[in-house]
Chain A
Amino acid sequence: MTVDAWIAEPVNWVFSIVAVVILFTAVRVVTSPNVVHAALYLVAALAGSAVMFLLLSAEFVALVLVLVYIGAVLVLFLFGIMITRAPTGFDEGLSNDRKLVSAAISLVLLGVLSWASLSAFGTDTVNTVGSPTATEILGDAILGRFVIPFEVVSFILLSALIGGITVARRDLTPLEEEERKAV
C-alpha cells in the first residue's frame, strides 16, 4: 500500500488528528506543572483512546472506557488530589531531576517497541468490517467462555473495595472518641 493510498483514506485523517491529540495530551499529563490539569489532560487522552476504539469498531469497550474511566476513575483521582491536598496551583516541584535520563529511556523504549511491531507486522491492515462488533458477542464471551475469569475479576474488585475501605478508614483519636460518645 502506498503512502498516497493511505492518505487518500479519510479514516486515516481522523486517526492522525486524534492520535496527535492523544499524544499531545498524554505528554501534558506527564509534564504539566499543575496536578489538576494533569488529571484533566488524562480525560482528553482517554477520550481520544475511546475514539480509537470506535475506529477499531469496538464500540462497547469505547463506551465502557468513557463510563468507567472518565465517569468514575477520573472523579476518584480528582478526589484523591483534593484529599491529599496536593498543591493545586502551578508547582515546578512535581517532577524530579532525572528528566533527561528518563526521557532517554522512554525514547529508547519507544524505538524498540516501534521497531519490533514495524518489523513484525509490516503493512498488515486491520480487518474491521463495517458494522461494529455486536455487544451480544462480547456478552456471550464474557458470561460464557470467560465466565470464571469474569467472576475472579469481580472478586478482585470486591476485595479492592473492602481493602480500600479498610486501609483508608481512619480510627478516631481518643479525643474524637470522647466527643462522639458525648453526642
Chain B
Amino acid sequence: MPYDVGSLMLLNQFLVLGAALFSIGVYGLLVRRNAVLVLLSVELMLNAVNINLIAFESALVTNAAVGQVFSIFVITVAAAEVGFGLAIILMIFRNRRSANVDELDLMRW
C-alpha cells in the first residue's frame, strides 16, 4: 500500500532537531572532563549532521541519493575516529593514569 509518508512533514522540523542535537553535542564537548565522554559528544554532533544530510536529501531528492551516501561516509569516518580516538585515550590513560582532558595541560605556557 503506497502510504504517502511525510508530505506533511516540514523540512525545518528535522533541521531544528539537528541543530538542537548539535548544540547539545557542543555543550558536552565544552563541559565534559572525561575524554571518553568528549568523544560521545562528538558522536552526537556527527549524528546531528547525518540527520541534516538525510533531511536535505529527501527535500531535494537527488537522483543518486547523494545525501545518504555522504551520511554513510560520515558514519564510516566516525567509526574510524572512535577507534583511533579510543586508542589515543588508552595511551594517555596508561601514561598519566587519568583520562581527564583538563589535566592534559602540558602544552600551556
Contact = CB atoms under 8 A, between A and B. Distances in A.
Interface of A: 1, 5-6, 8-9, 11-12, 15, 19, 22-23, 26-27, 29-30, 35, 38-39, 42, 45-46, 49, 52-53, 55-58, 60-61, 64-65, 68-69, 72-73, 76-77, 79-81, 83-86, 93-96, 98-99, 101-103, 105-107, 109-110, 113-114, 117-118, 121-131, 133, 137-138, 140-142, 144-146, 149-150, 153-154, 156-157, 160-161, 163-165, 167-168, 170
Closest 9 CB pairs of A and B: A30-B28, A160-B80, A113-B19, A102-B30, A168-B87, A164-B87, A128-B6, A117-B15, A130-B2
Given A30-B24, A98-B30, A141-B66, A9 B8 contact: yes
B68 A107 contact: no
Given A84-B93, A102-B30, A106-B24, A64 B75 contact: yes
A109 to B, nearest CB: 5
A48 B73 CA distance: 20
A110 B15 CA distance: 11
Contacts of A164: 83-84, 86-87
A72 B82 CA distance: 10
- Chain B interface helix/strand/loop/mixed: helix
Task: Give the interface size bracket for B toward A.
Answer: 35 or more
Contacts of A26: 20-21, 24-25, 44
Contacts, number: 289
Contact of B86 (A76, A113, A145): A76
B40 A39 contact: yes
A49 B23 contact: no
Given A42-B44, A103-B27, A126 B55 contact: yes
Contacts of B39: 77, 80
Interface in B41-64: 41, 43-44, 47, 50-51, 54-55, 57-59, 61, 63-64
